[in-house]
């Protein structure tokens, strides 16, 4: 499904009702579609079709022309779906929602709220004070509400709408700022400090200690102890 269709469906469901989606899909992209044809294709009465079309018409989403049927003497209406208007309206509604959400977010983050433990009411500080921090319905003491989850969900909604508004199809005039290629990062390779191999550490440490030990005459103690491998250390210790 194209993004274009997604937008139209979302819009129509919201402002005209789910039942109208099928009708819109039928006439979208065409011009002057007879309401009788629509009724026939959707297998509903002309009155039902008109009811749906009026819902669209009240939002200026369809235009019509009428022609007199010469044989029958009545007017037949031919309808055209206004795609451009649909997009404008979609944008308008999204932006309005965004504005409301931002206001809500502001009042949630800046204010404190008090709720009845039984769920009767939720009041801001000012109103809670008016009621002496008691539920106006049941009289229970109001509890300060932790609205952090509420805030998170509002923020999520805002993010979603911003994403919807940034889709290329909708924001035609805007060009997406492309991220500058960051190719110079590999310089970080200096960073990987690998754990020094055990051998190296053992070698380094002893060098410091041995420096003092080396001063010790190695040959003298050798006499007492026949083992030739470890004599150096013991000799140094003796001194
Ligand atoms: Zn209550």
How far is residue 230's CA from residue 210's CA, in Å, rounded to a whole number? 13
The token duo for 58 is: 């009240």
What separation in Å is there between the alpha carbon of 111 and the centre of ligand 1? Answer: 21
What separation in Å is there between the alpha carbon of 22 and the centre of ligand 1? Answer: 45
What separation in Å is there between the alpha carbon of 128 and the centre of ligand 1? Answer: 12
Strands (E), the chain: 33-34, 62-68, 75-81, 113-115, 122-124, 143-144
**DSSP state letter for 20:** G
What is the CATH code for 3-81?
A: 1.10.10.10
What separation in Å is there between the alpha carbon of 238 and the centre of ligand 1? Answer: 86
What separation in Å is there between the alpha carbon of 134 and the centre of ligand 1? Answer: 8
Residues 6+ apart with CB under 8 A from 61: 12, 16, 81, 82, 85, 86, 89
pLDDT tens-place string over residues 6-37: 889 999 999 999 999 999 999 999 999 999 99
What separation in Å is there between the alpha carbon of 107 and the centre of ligand 1? Answer: 23
pLDDT tens-place string over residues 31-86: 999 999 999 999 999 999 999 999 999 999 999 999 998 888 889 999 999 999 99
What separation in Å is there between the alpha carbon of 187 and the centre of ligand 1? Answer: 63
Give percent of the chain above pLDDT 90.
60
């Amino acid at each position: 499904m194209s993004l274009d269709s997604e937008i139209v469906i979302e819009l129509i469901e919201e402002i005209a009702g789910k039942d109208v989606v099928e009708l819109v899909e039928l006439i979208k992209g065409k011009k002057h579609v007879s309401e009788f044809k629509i009724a026939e294709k959707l297998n509903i009465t002309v009155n039902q079709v008109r009811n749906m079309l009026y819902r669209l018409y009240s939002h200026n989403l369809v235009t019509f022309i009428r022609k007199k049927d010469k044989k029958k003497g009545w007017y037949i209406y031919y309808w055209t779906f206004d795609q451009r208007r649909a997009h404008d309206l979609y944008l308008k509604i999204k932006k309005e929602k965004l504005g409301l959400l931002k206001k809500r977010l502001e009042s949630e983050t800046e204010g404190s709220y008090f709720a009845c433990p039984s769920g009767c009411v939720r009041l801001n500080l000012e109103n809670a004070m008016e009621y002496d921090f008691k539920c106006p319905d049941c009289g229970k003491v109001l509890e300060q509400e932790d609205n952090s989850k509420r805030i998170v969900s509002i923020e999520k909604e805002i993010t979603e709408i911003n994403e919807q508004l940034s889709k290329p199809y909708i924001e035609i005039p805007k060009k997406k700022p492309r991220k500058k290629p960051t190719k110079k990062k590999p310089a970080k390779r200096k960073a990987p400090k690998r754990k020094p191999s055990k051998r190296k550490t053992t070698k380094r440490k002893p060098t410091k200690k041995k420096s003092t030990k080396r001063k010790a005459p190695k040959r003298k103690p050798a006499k007492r102890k026949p083992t030739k491998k470890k004599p150096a250390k013991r000799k140094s210790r003796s001194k």
